[in-house]
Amino acid sequence: MIKELKKFLNSHPTFTAAQARKAGIHPSLISYYIKLGVVERISRGLYRNPTKESGVPAPWEDLVATVNSISDGVVCLISALNLYELTDEFANEHWIAVPKDNWPKRRLHTKIVRLNNISLGKTRFILGTKKIWIFDRERTIIDSFRLLPLEVAIKALKLYLKPNNEQKPDFQKLNRYSKELHFDISTYIQALTT
């Protein structure tokens, strides 16, 4: 059993309890190895091999492990704003969107947001060697106005509109998302661009 666990840990820098069970590793064995420091608990049902490089930059390891452990999970709001560098807000919890009918298990330091139109603006984002689902910058801006304090949303929009050689504002996409999500931010855009 120890040989199987070592093989499993070497191939899974982060893993869920369900993945371990599927590999034939009993939950009591995981608990035992947590006490020994061989396995680290990230949150309920989510674990990490502390000796194995995850391939993700250190500040984002827990976020990647958390979103990838949630069925249909998409990084959103404060977590997405942080990844896009559109806020100076500190994310003390991971913000993950799921479809309205999805009720994932509670996780430490995770804010679950149930949303309609979960596929709108959903895109892949690469962090190190891992891929995660995240809402694109435009969906994140609209959702910020819908679901976060106004000052956070305005600051994010200002940073989004700031001239940048890498990414330019996509006003057509902002307008389309505003219509689809029934939240018009055109007055804020006008105020910040004139």
Q: Name the band, by pLDDT with cuts 50, 70 and 90, for residue 106.
A: confident
Percentage of residues of the chain with pLDDT beyond 90: 48
Same domain, 66 and 146: yes
Q: Two tokens at 72?
A: 């249909």
Q: How many domains does the chain have?
A: 2
Same domain, 183 and 124: yes
Same domain, 120 and 188: yes
pLDDT in tens, 118-154: 999 999 998 877 899 999 999 999 999 999 999 999 9
Taking alpha carbons only, the member of 102, 143, 104, 100 closest to residue 121 is: 143
Same domain, 116 and 153: yes
d(CA 108, CA 94): 9
Other beta carbons within 10 Å of 111: 16
Residues of the domain holding 10: 2-48
Q: Give the three-class secondary structure for 129.
A: coil
pTM: 0.76
Sheet with 122-127: strands ordered across: 110-115, 94-99, 74-75, 130-135, 122-127
d(CA 75, CA 189): 24
Same domain, 129 and 180: yes
pLDDT in tens, 23-82: 888 888 888 888 888 788 877 777 877 777 666 666 778 888 889 889 899 999 999 999
**Within-domain flag for 142:** yes
Of 107 and 93, the one with more pLDDT: 93
Same domain, 88 and 44: no
Taking alpha carbons only, the member of 109, 130, 126, 125 closest to residue 53 is: 130
**pLDDT of amino acid 57:** 64
- What is the DSSP code (8-state) at residue 42? E
d(CA 39, CA 188): 48
Residues 58-83: b if buried by 16+ CB within 10 A, e if exposed = eebbbbbbbbebbeebbbbbbbbbbb
**Within-domain flag for 143:** yes
**Within-domain flag for 53:** no
